[in-house]
Amino acid sequence: MSTVGPTVTLTTGTKALIMMTIQLDNQASNRQGTAAIEISGASSVSPSDGPAVHIYSSANDAHQFSLVYIQEGLTVGSNTFKVKYKAAGGTTVNFAWRRLAVMDLGS
């Protein structure tokens, strides 16, 4: 997942509440688009290792998603949270209305 969307950097304890909302619009039938969170800085969490939103639908079929979860096991310190995207199967997926909020939950 190389395309980057909203980014939030903050000092966290070992837990954070992550809230993402995004619209995915598949541009070809039966193709998949994915949006997930990458965490870097004091912690290192790949977007493929955590929760994600996926779309697999017919062409020009937009869906709005929200994803809310608690990320545990963070390293205390400055962490950067980035929304990352990918489209599978060589198709185009439009990602719009992207929002990211992160709240420290301490240790």
Residue 2, pLDDT score: 57
Residue 62, pLDDT score: 80
Residue 63, pLDDT score: 82
Report DSSP letters for 25-52, one per residue.
EESSTTEEEEEEEEEEESS-B-GGGS-E
Say if residues 40 and 47 touch (Cβ distance below 8 Å).
Answer: no
Q: What does pLDDT average to in each consecutive run of 10 residues of the chain (107 residues)? A: 80 98 79 88 89 80 89 97 85 84 96
